[in-house]
């Protein structure tokens, strides 16, 4: 199981009844949000996830065949053909929860995805990295050996995918720390110089820096308390706040969210750095009200909303607070960390997010969701009941593995201290 579950500060999420009439029709393909923050609500549909451009038709009867055909198609010598099959895999693995099918084909999937990652073509590499993330989300299990195989193939270009893969599959804290150091070397050129000036970096590198910082923040949220104390001491006072002065809006906003997550962790572990400095508050307030003419309207709107919420969280003690409804359940997002997780996985799963929230035992454990409820048998088909029973058994297995891992981690941390 992922390392975040071994911490003593899990996200404060829970499932509740949505309050909808059970007799009403429920579209499992749509999740709805209520009381969404300004930051979340201003994203447009075109910015979330990825385009499903090849119109893949998915039915239960054809999933095995489509998966096998797509894996075999990755051997094709034609670049465009391989990319089309990668898009098919992207659609299939994001829109459907097929953990068992993926597990049974993991060797061939690994071989072909790593081959695509190493061919050097940018568009193929991005697709292969995304599909690799989806494979690990499907598996939802610790596998340090598999993580190392993909780490060597993905670095240093596709860092966001690697962050998710490490989050899910690497149990070794030393591997996480090592990867975080590598990620920092990628985004550290955006740190302020000694004279306080923000470096000028081209757009492509800024995208890489943003992805690396995103993965770094994700992995930072998994660290045990003793390492979290040290990380906060080193990075919160100056290094990460310095990124707020970058000229790239995406990196600037990601730095703001990283600061919010780190201060939330600092408060949870009672760090002496749990309160922001006056200079940081002044910077956050400035970003929340910035109206520079050289920034686009959309860019300014997103920045204002992002930093207004971050600034208010310090001044008024507020946190993100909104609901995600999927089927008859409701996921309550009530912390910066849980919102960061939700945005991260939504960016990969796109419109398949609610399907995985409902069926994927790993993703449900990320958000502390209860075991899926037994559906009304009179309204369920036999194959749906079989799928539910399989998911229930898988969820129980994952829970038992999690309890064992957590116990081992507690003993290891006690020994290290």
- Whether cis (ω within 30° of 0) applies to the bond prior to 156 is yes
Mean pLDDT of 51-61: 57
- For 119, the token pair is 């061919």
Q: Which pLDDT belongs to residue 320?
A: 94
Q: Name the band, by pLDDT with cuts 50, 70 and 90, for residue 389.
A: low
Phi, psi values for residue 357, rounded to 5°: -60, -35
Q: Name the band, by pLDDT with cuts 50, 70 and 90, for residue 388.
A: low
Q: In what order do the strands lie in the sheet with 15-17?
A: 15-17, 329-333, 322-326, 31-34
Provide the residue count of the chain: 417
- For 202, the token pair is 């081209």
Tens digit of pLDDT for each residue in 275-312?
A: 999 999 999 999 999 876 656 778 888 999 999 999 99
Judged against a pLDDT cut of 60, whether residue 403 lies above it is answered with no
Judged against a pLDDT cut of 90, whether residue 341 lies above it is answered with yes
Q: Which pLDDT belongs to residue 10?
A: 42
50 vs 286: which has the higher pLDDT: 286
Mean pLDDT of 144-149: 95
Tens digit of pLDDT for each residue in 116-145?
A: 999 978 999 999 999 999 999 999 999 999
Judged against a pLDDT cut of 90, whether residue 402 lies above it is answered with no
| pTM for the whole structure | 0.79
d(CA 111, CA 96): 22
Count of other CB atoms within 10 angstroms of residue 315: 12
Phi, psi values for residue 391, rounded to 5°: -65, -40
Q: Name the band, by pLDDT with cuts 50, 70 and 90, for residue 210.
A: very high
Q: Identify the residue whose tokens are 């923050």.
A: 37
Residue pair 185/145 in contact (Cβ under 8 Å)? The answer is: no
Q: Which pLDDT belongs to residue 167?
A: 97
Q: Identify the residue whose tokens are 């065949």.
A: 65
- Virtual torsion, Cα 88, 92, 94, 96, nearest 10 deg: 170
- For 47, the token pair is 């910015």
Residue pair 251/209 in contact (Cβ under 8 Å)? The answer is: yes
Residue pair 92/137 in contact (Cβ under 8 Å)? The answer is: no
Residue 79, CB half-sphere, CA atoms under 13 Å: how many?
9
Judged against a pLDDT cut of 70, whether residue 4 lies above it is answered with no
352 vs 34: which has the higher pLDDT: 352
Q: Name the band, by pLDDT with cuts 50, 70 and 90, for residue 9.
A: very low
Q: Name the band, by pLDDT with cuts 50, 70 and 90, for residue 5.
A: very low
- For 166, the token pair is 């490490």
Of 29-38, 212-221, 249-258, 264-273, the poorest mean pLDDT is in 29-38
Residue 138 to residues 125, 143, 191, 252, 349: CA-CA distances in angstroms? 20, 13, 36, 31, 11
Residue pair 357/364 in contact (Cβ under 8 Å)? The answer is: yes
Q: What is the 3-state secondary structure (H, E, C) of the chain?
A: CCHHHHCCCCCCCCEEECCCCCCCCCCCCCEEEECCCHHHHCCCHHHCCCCCCCCCCCCHHHHHHHHHHHHHHCCCCCHHHHHHHHHHHHHHHHHCCCHHHHHHCHHHHHHHHHHHHCCCCHHHHHHHHHHHHHHHHHHCCCCHHHHHHHHHHHCCCCHHHHHHHHHHHCCCHHHHHHHHHHHHHHHHHHCCCCCCCCCCCCHHHHHHHHHHHHHHHHHHCCCCHHHHHHHHHHHCCCHHHHHHHCCCHHHHHHHHHHHHHHHHHHHHCCCCCCCCCHHHHHHHHHHHCCCCCCCCHHHHHHHHHHHHHHHHHHHCCCCCCEEEEECCEEEEECCHHHHHHHHHHHHHHHHHHHHHHHHCHHHHHHCCCCCCCCCCHHHCCHHHHHHHHHHHHHHHHHHHHHHHHHHHHHHHHHHHC
> What average pLDDT is seen over the chain?
82
Among 101, 116, 110, 106, CA closest to 66: 101
Percent above pLDDT 70 for the chain: 73
Range among 265-274, 373-382, 389-398 rated most confident: 265-274
d(CA 84, CA 73): 9
Judged against a pLDDT cut of 90, whether residue 405 lies above it is answered with no
Among 165, 95, 157, 153, CA closest to 123: 157
204 vs 401: which has the higher pLDDT: 204
């Amino acid at each position: 199981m992922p390392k975040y579950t071994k911490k003593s500060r899990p996200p404060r999420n829970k499932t509740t009844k949505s309050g909808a009439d059970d007799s009403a029709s429920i579209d499992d393909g749509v999740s709805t949000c209520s009381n969404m923050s300004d930051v979340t609500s201003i994203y447009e549909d075109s910015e979330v996830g990825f385009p499903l451009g090849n119109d893949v038709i998915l039915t239960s009867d054809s999933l095995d065949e489509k998966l096998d055909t797509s894996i075999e198609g990755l051997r094709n010598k034609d670049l465009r053909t391989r990319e089309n099959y990668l898009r098919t895999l992207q659609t299939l693995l994001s829109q459907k929860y097929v953990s068992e099918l993926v597990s049974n084909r993991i060797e061939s999937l690994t071989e072909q995805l790593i081959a695509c990652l190493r061919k050097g073509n940018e568009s193929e590499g991005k697709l292969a990295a995304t599909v690799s993330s989806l494979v690990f989300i499907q598996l939802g299990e610790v596998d340090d050996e598999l993580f190392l195989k993909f780490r060597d193939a993905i670095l240093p270009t596709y860092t966001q995918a690697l962050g998710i893969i490490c989050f899910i599959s690497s149990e070794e804290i030393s591997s996480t720390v090592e990867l975080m150091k590598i990620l920092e070397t990628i985004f550290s050129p955006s740190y302020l110089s000694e004279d306080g000036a923000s470096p000028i970096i081209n757009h492509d590198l800024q995208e890489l820096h943003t992805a690396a910082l995103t993965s770094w923040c994700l992995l930072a949220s998994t660290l045990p308390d003793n390492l979290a104390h040290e990380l906060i001491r080193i990075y919160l006072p100056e290094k990460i706040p310095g990124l707020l002065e970058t000229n790239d809006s995406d990196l600037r906003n990601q730095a703001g969210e990283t600061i919010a997550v780190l201060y939330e962790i600092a408060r949870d572990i009672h760090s002496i750095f749990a309160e922001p400095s006056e200079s940081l508050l002044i910077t956050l307030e400035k970003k929340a009200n910035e109206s520079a003419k050289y920034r686009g309207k959309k860019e300014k709107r997103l920045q204002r909303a992002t930093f207004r919420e971050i600034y208010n969280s310090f001044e008024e003690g507020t946190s993100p607070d909104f609901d995600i409804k999927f089927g008859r359940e409701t996921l309550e997002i009530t912390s910066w960390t849980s919102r960061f997780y939700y945005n991260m996985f939504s960016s990969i799963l796109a419109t398949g997010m609610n399907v995985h929230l409902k069926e994927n035992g790993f993703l449900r454990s990320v958000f502390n969701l209860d075991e899926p409820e037994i559906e009304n048998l009179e309204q369920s088909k036999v194959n749906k009941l079989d799928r539910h029973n399989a998911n229930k058994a898988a969820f129980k297995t994952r829970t038992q593995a999690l309890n064992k891992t957590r116990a081992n981690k507690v003993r290891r941390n006690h020994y290290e201290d």
